[in-house]
Structure 1
Amino acid sequence: MKEFTYARAETLDDAAGQLDETARVIAGGTNLLDLMKLQVMAPEKVVDITRLPDLSEISAEGEGLRIGALVTNSQLAEDHRVRSLYPVLSRAILAGASGQIRNKATTGGNLLQRTRCPYFYDPAMACNKRDPGAGCAAKEGVGRMLAVFGVSDDCLAAHPSDMAVGLRALDAEVEVRSPDSSTRRLKLDELYRLPGDRPDLETTLAVDEIITAVVLPAPEKGAVQAYRKVRDRASYAFALVSVAGNVTLTDGKIARAKLAYGGVAPKPWTNAKVEEMLVGQAPDEALFRKAAEALTADATPHSDNAFKLPMLRRTLIAVLREATGLADASPGTDKTKDAA
């Protein structure tokens, strides 16, 4: 690990004023410290925001919830309001990492965690995300965990967050504070960039902006939420594929369908055409299969991860069955016959 300066911020303005291209925010540190040890990231300064007030609470926001950026993953998953009104979020968080890491990892940090692509983590390998212009060793390398949507010639890496997939299905917004004390809110899709020819630019945040909260809208009346994650091990493993669903039925037909996919793209992935295909239709197996085929029609898999496409289709079908009542699925299940 290279030498760096540590600073503890006393206010948000203080924190923002210390941020530039050479500095990084630290809170739980569950991702940043690993990357610093490997010298994948080598900031000259880390700015500790863990003592800032008002960022560690979950509070009502109208009929929804405001989740402070320093709320830990454990706090969020265990909150009774989240478990009862936003169960897809609780299930997604509990499917990620270990209990020890969830106790330290924060809401803001989870959104900003970086890919687990092995070529990004190895400074000896070419990686445009780590070293712009260096090339992408993953293209000719082992690609089992790489993305199948939203990739470019310069980067095939997948976003690792389970939590962000659940938030995307809930239409969450991210509150961001600028150095002039102004705030703005972004949809999750607006927070993340696709790699294009600059995979090192992962979000739309300026270097001196800080995520202060995530805001959840009021839950849709009558909606059923479901989450499935397929992975190599029963715990502490990143998703091969995951699907979060938030579906409302009215008079026996799908009135609203919000679906998000993890482990398959550089950000939590969505497909508006699939959702439009479902709305207004009576749920049945034929509809679900048609939607699943449409989802993977534009995929561009690596030679090592084409298996993700049938896996993703089966996982989507399993989530739709659960969310529409066509399957009797047990809460918390993340490996089923349909999704294996």
Structure 2
Amino acid sequence: MFKPLLSLQRVGKEFPARGSGKGLSYKAVNEVSLDIYPGETVGLVGESGCGKSTLGYLVLNLLDLTSGEILFEGQSLANLNKAQQRALKSQIQIVFQDPQSSLNPRFKIEQIVEEPLRLNGWRDKQKRKERVRQLLDKVGLGEEYLGRFPHELSGGQRQRVAIARAISLNPKLIVLDEPTSALDVSVQAQILNLLKELQRDLNLAFLFISHNLAVVRHLSNKVAVMYYGRIIELADTNELFNNPLHPYTKVLLQSIPNINPEKPLLVELEGEMPTPHKSPLGCSFHSRCSYANDLCREAGSELQLIKEGHWVSCTRQKV
């Protein structure tokens, strides 16, 4: 049986709660467990503020865990020395939402793509230059872009440069943090097709963070729905889109124009997401759910396996 490339085990992250009293905190990520396998894309979806990006930064080891454990190829990220942390950075990369702000405006494109190579022991300048040319070609950019600055490129071209930089050290996992949301729709499709091509050629695994469910459906093998720091539903992509079980998931899918006009989901969303420092009792979604009952308000439900490959956290679903 295949072993996961990345394994999150009851991962939690707390931050101090501003303006709510000394010593109080809120859980940005709460008891999240998730596996990603080599060559797989896991889509992570949810509203702004649900903890998606924080979870991505935990995977990248840019934030310290409050609880739980993250394993990469079976090794805990919490027990790495400096040499191991450097090696990890080459194996787990990120592509940010806005390529304009993630690329150094003072560097030429050649310098931007070359920088990770230089910092990771590529001493031969000629080999670095050749590698940069290969990378730009792989993402659909020619040598004529080497001497240009980021502001001279379009948004899609800048994102191609960011992707070239991300794959420069042959990583095994890339965190894609809303990589197409700042791009025009036509350019989004080009970037998504490029990512799928690179994944096939390089056997990359993706953690694809997005609020755009149509894009997630196009790219992902399985989808995790996140709400208020928790994963509340997890399933293969087709299963989740065709048979959503959690009321919140149904609301998200209902927001996609014409997803299934013959069978409207007709789930109403009430109220707003709870404030970070006032975590509700029971299910965190109960204050917005039209199906909520006393059990939801008092106890809630752990993520449970409903059928093969489909997990959900909802008292209305029975094993």
Same fold (TM over 0.5): no
Q: Compare CA radii of gyration and give the structure with the larger one.
A: 2
Q: Could you say which structure has the greater relative contact order, defined with CA pairs below 8 angstroms and 6 or more residues apart?
A: 2
**Structure ranking higher in helix proportion:** 2
Q: Could you tell me the TM-score, scaled by structure 1's length?
A: 0.27
TM-score normalized with structure 2 length? 0.29
